[in-house]
């Protein structure tokens, strides 16, 4: 009896193990799914709990990464890229990107000009050794205070001491001019011009303060005060400035730099006397034609005249004070005392 019962149970188990064909199953479906990943697709389907039949497959799109914030692993420099990364909080995948160079951050270090050395601005990068230099300025030149030590006599030379008010450079210069008064307005300018090599006088004992200046002399004085720059070209458009003459280089330099255009296309008129308007215009052009401030100027220099801006600029810079009656007298011929005084005042206000 026991054996028969066991055999019956085994038969039932065998029958239960034999799958029922889908067409014969009264399906009871439930939803199954495989979740999508950051980059991998997922799957959704229906599955019968009785026979395991599957149907209704639906593809689920990847959900994409969920990245945390970027963080820098290699810092950029002024000129090189850096590296930054971010990690997915779900799968740990890492994304890498470059960080643009930071670029230079320049700070200005100003080197002010001195009497003998030009100035400039040095721009130094705050993060590396890179730098560049710009904004060059010319040397200031000495600003001398001139003290008379001794006037010339029949047996001894005059003696003056030059002391720079900026750098304290000091030296003594000797002179032999007997026709300059130590109380005259032009006394210091004449000695400055002598010391600077701008003029040597008419002879050893005469400067000739009242002698009229020719156009050639004025341009030569200006050329010497500029340091005797060499003309760029040897071409000479002026028929009345012979090769080898004392004013040739000065005139060519003045022509090239636009200080003078001559009295016509082929003549400079070197021996013609130079009037006050021309002298101031030469100086104004030499300084690059700076624009003067608004002002009325002198009553005898009307607005629109060729020298109006030059005269107004010169008055504002203290280069000319005009005449005692408040006029400028632009057509008055300029004497040697006046021209060296103009040059001296211009040099003191570069």
Stated as kind and residue range, the H or E segment containing 79 is: none
* Residue matched to tokens 């004392």: 246
Residue 161, exposed/middle/buried by CB under 10 A (0-12, 13-18, 19+)? middle
Bridge partner list, 29: 48
Instruction: Quote the pLDDT of residue 138.
Output: 87
How many other C-beta atoms lie within 10 A of the C-beta of residue 254?
Answer: 26
Q: In what order do the strands lie in the sheet with 119-125?
A: 106-111, 119-125, 131-137
Q: How far apart are CA 185 and CA 218, in angstroms?
A: 19
Instruction: Quote the pLDDT of residue 297.
Output: 82
Q: How far apart are CA 274 and CA 63, in angstroms?
A: 92
Instruction: Quote the pLDDT of residue 17.
Output: 40
Low-confidence ranges of the chain (pLDDT < 50): 1-20, 22
Global confidence as pTM: 0.66
- Going by C-alpha positions, the residue among 153, 173, 151 that lies closest to residue 161 is 173
Pairing between β-strand 131-137 and β-strand 29-34 as defined by DSSP bridges: unpaired
Instruction: Quote the pLDDT of residue 6.
Output: 40
Strands (DSSP E) along 266-322, which ranges?
none
DSSP structure class, residue 289? -
- Residue 282 in contact with residue 342, Cβ under 8 Å? no
Reported as a single tens digit per residue, the pLDDT across 19-67 is 445 468 989 999 999 999 999 999 999 999 999 999 999 999 999 999 9
| CA-CA-CA-CA dihedral for 289, 295, 299, 305, to nearest 10 | 30
Stated as kind and residue range, the H or E segment containing 158 is: strand 158-164
Alpha-carbon distances, residue 229 vs 104, 232, 329, 344 (angstroms): 39, 9, 31, 19
What number of CA atoms fall less than 13 Å from residue 71's CA on the CB side? Answer: 8
Q: Can you read off the two tokens belonging to residue 270?
A: 């070197």
Reported as a single tens digit per residue, the pLDDT across 74-89 is 999 999 999 999 999 9
Q: Which sign does the torsion angle of CA 197, 235, 219, 176 carry?
A: positive
Instruction: Quote the pLDDT of residue 349.
Output: 67
Instruction: Quote the pLDDT of residue 151.
Output: 93
- Going by C-alpha positions, the residue among 217, 267, 277 that lies closest to residue 245 is 217
- Residue 72 in contact with residue 83, Cβ under 8 Å? yes
43: helix, strand or coil: strand
């Amino acid at each position: 009896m026991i054996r028969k019962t066991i055999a019956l149970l085994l038969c039932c188990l065998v029958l239960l193990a034999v799958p029922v064909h889908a067409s014969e199953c009264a399906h009871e479906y439930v939803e199954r799914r495989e979740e999508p990943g950051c980059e991998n697709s997922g799957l959704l389907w229906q599955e019968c709990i009785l026979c395991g039949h599957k149907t209704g497959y639906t593809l689920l799109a990847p959900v994409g990464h969920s990245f945390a914030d970027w963080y820098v692993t290699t810092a950029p420099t002024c000129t090189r890229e850096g590296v930054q990364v971010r990690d997915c909080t779900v799968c740990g995948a890492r994304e890498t990107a470059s960080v643009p160079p930071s670029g230079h951050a320049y700070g200005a270090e100003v080197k002010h000009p001195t009497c003998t050395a030009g100035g400039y601005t040095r721009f130094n990068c705050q993060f590396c050794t890179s730098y560049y230099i710009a904004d060059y300025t010319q040397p200031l030149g000495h600003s001398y205070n001139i003290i008379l030590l001794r006037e010339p006599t029949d047996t001894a030379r005059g003696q003056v001491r030059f002391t720079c008010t900026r750098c304290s450079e000091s030296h003594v210069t000797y002179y032999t001019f007997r026709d300059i008064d130590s109380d005259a307005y032009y006394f210091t300018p004449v000695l400055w011009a002598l010391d600077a090599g701008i003029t040597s006088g008419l002879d050893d004992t005469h400067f000739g303060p009242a002698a009229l200046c020719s156009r050639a002399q004025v341009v030569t004085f200006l050329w010497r005060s500029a340091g005797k720059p060499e003309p760029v070209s040897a071409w000479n458009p002026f028929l009345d400035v012979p090769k080898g003459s004392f004013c040739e280089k000065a005139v060519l330099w003045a022509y090239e730099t636009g200080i003078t255009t001559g009295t016509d296309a082929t003549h400079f008129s070197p021996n013609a006397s130079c009037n006050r308007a021309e002298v101031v215009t030469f100086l104004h052009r030499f300084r690059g034609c700076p624009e003067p401030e608004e002002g009325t100027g002198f009553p005898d220099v009307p607005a629109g005249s060729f020298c109006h801006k030059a005269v107004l600029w010169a008055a504002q810079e203290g280069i000319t004070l005009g005449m005692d009656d408040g006029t400028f007298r632009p057509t008055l011929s300029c004497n040697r005392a006046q021209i060296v005084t103009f040059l001296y005042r211009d040099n003191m206000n570069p």
